[in-house]
Amino acid sequence: MDLPILKSESLSKRGQKRIRRSLLQAFLESCKTQGKDTKILTDGDGRKFTYGELRRAAFALSSPLRKVTAPGETVGILLPTGAGAVIAFLSVHAAGRTPAMLNFSAGIKNLKAAAKTAPLKTVITARRFIEIAGLDSLIADLSGAVEFVYLEDMREGLGFGGKMRAVLGPVLPGLFTPRSAPDDAGVILFTSGTEGNPKGVVLSHSNILANIEQIEQHVRLEENDIVFNPLPTFHCYGLTAGTLWPIYGGHPVVLHPSPLQTKTIAKRIFKSRSTVLFATDTFLQQYMRASAEGGLSSLRIAVCGAERVREETRKTAADRFSFEVLEGYGVTECAPVLAANQPGDIRAGTIGKMLPGIETKLEPVEGLEDAGRLWVRGPNIMKGYIAPDNPGVVAPLEGGWHDTGDVVSVDDEGYYVIRGRIKRFAKIGGEMVSLTVVENCASALWPDHMHAAAITADPKRGEQIVLVTDHPEPKRQELMAWAQTHGVPEIAVPKKIVTVAALPILGTGKLDYASVTAMAKDALGLKS
């Protein structure tokens, strides 16, 4: 594509040097820099871990892992956000294997497909997690496809070799760990699989470290910041930004196993005096509603991704708790963060500027004059996909460019606005209508409720837009009146509005649009 290329500021020379390491090497250097006795991680049960304890556990557990896996093998991790997931991640690297993060909320079909795609023979999990989460049937169904190893068993079966690695590994890491090249696969994650079997996204060590450096340069944390992360580590946002960034950067992080425990999370943020929260707009709204007055007042900023930040979210955060909400944007294939607003420079309605070192170009979209389909290139962009029909084989990107599938516009100052997914535009009467605009209108009119727009077939106009909402009595004429007074064309006002008890949310915090569409079709008596 011969399109104009836009470039963000350059990644610093220091950052360019620091990304040429392996993930384990980067962790070990952080441990040395920050001090092995420095407490860096607080688990869901309140237990605090030092760098030294994480390092020792990673080397120790790499010993039993080496016995049941082959060099270079991909090993699955099926664990909630917490110390266990971090230690498992580091131990897989210490064993010279590649971790693949598995979404335990994805369902058996997608998990089996992911295991076949990677491919996986061995998966690390924990008996306590399986018991608490009620995943016994899931484990039973998956047992025919993979072999499970449990953290509890790994600890009990360390033996002399494991204990020696725990003691000597931190002292002589070069003797106890295979050396990984920066461009080797550092982690495999998976797409949602809502449009077919999930694809594997292969991110190199350098991709992850580059994104950490980009975030650090773009959104600088303060010396006394404490990060709170309830987002899943099977999602790249929760892994890179919410977990690895603070640990590698020396900022204490409080991890929570589930973003759905709203009341508990609000209390833990207050108790831990956390200052930086990672969330989605949907989850942040829930945490603020569940918090006592001033309960989240320790927060300085909340960084929200995965979905648009609503204006009422910013207003509640500022008025009730006096913190800023930074809207960011990213995709798994980009490790994941691409752009974000910055403290003191929040442009409402935008995702801010691109992170350092990222090039972009906009492919024209028929029917849209001032926006285009976003392509990106940079040091954080993935090595490539693993397709379900070609397990284990990485298909590299052409020229290093990744098609995000998102339609964006950019102003003269370099601030980007997400106009919607290319697949979330309806073509009505020859015109392109963004479902995001439809949802924005509904959110502005009915801010206390959740709304999602879906596309269904229309016998006359090809496609029609249906609004699905948890508002008990939504009136279309009110929505039409709001649109007319705010310059929104009538074509963007849905002809059908469907009320449901609750909108479906994925484990990542995103709206489950596949289920939303099914709800809309079911309400209209259409075939799914």
Closest CA to 428 of 493, 515, 365, 370: 493
User: What is residue 328's three-state secondary structure?
Assistant: strand
Q: What is the side-by-side order of every strand in the sheet holding 451-458?
A: 451-458, 462-469, 496-499
* Class of the domain covering 429-523: alpha beta
pLDDT confidence of residue 231? 95
Q: Is 508 left (phi over 0), alpha (psi -120 to 50) or beta?
A: alpha
| pTM attached to this predicted model | 0.85
Instruction: Calculate helix-pair angle for 205-218, 23-34, nearest 10 degrees.
Output: 50
Cα–Cα distance, 30 to 25 (Å, whole number)? 9
Chain center to CA of 471: 28
Give the number of other Cβ atoms within 10 Å of residue 307's Cβ: 20
**Residue-wise burial string across 48-78, b where 16 or more C-beta atoms lie within 10 A, e elsewhere:** ebbbebbbbbbbbbbbbbbeebeeebbbbbb
> What distance in Å separates the CA atoms of residue 383 and residue 69, rounded to the nearest whole number?
24
Residue 258's pLDDT band (cuts 50, 70, 90): very high
Q: What is the CATH number of domain 6-410?
A: 3.40.50.12780
Domain regions of the chain by residue span: 6-410, 429-523
At residue 228, what are phi and psi to the nearest 5 degrees?
-115, 120
Question: 34 CB contacts (<8 Å, ≥6 apart)?
Answer: 40, 51, 250
Token look-up 């920050």 returns 34
What is the spatial distance between Cα 351 and Cα 80, in angstroms, rounded to a whole number?
A: 28
Tokens of 36: 């092995």
Q: Pick the most confident of 183-192, 420-429, 462-471, 474-483.
A: 183-192
Query: Which of the two residues, 395 and 508, has the higher pLDDT score?
Result: 395
pLDDT at 509: 65
**How many Cβ atoms sit within 10 Å of the Cβ of residue 336?**
27
For range 84-93, the mean pLDDT: 97
Q: Higher pLDDT residue, 22 or 195?
A: 22
Tokens 């104009």, residue located:
4
**Rounded mean pLDDT, 92-110:** 93
How far apart CA 424 and CA 452 sit, in angstroms, is 11
pLDDT at 136 over 60: yes
pLDDT at 178: 79
* Radius of gyration (C-alpha) of the chain in whole angstroms: 23
Give the strand pairing for 402-410 and 416-421: antiparallel
User: In angstroms, how far is CA 87 from the centroid of its own chain?
Assistant: 19
Instruction: Determine the pLDDT at residue 455.
Output: 82
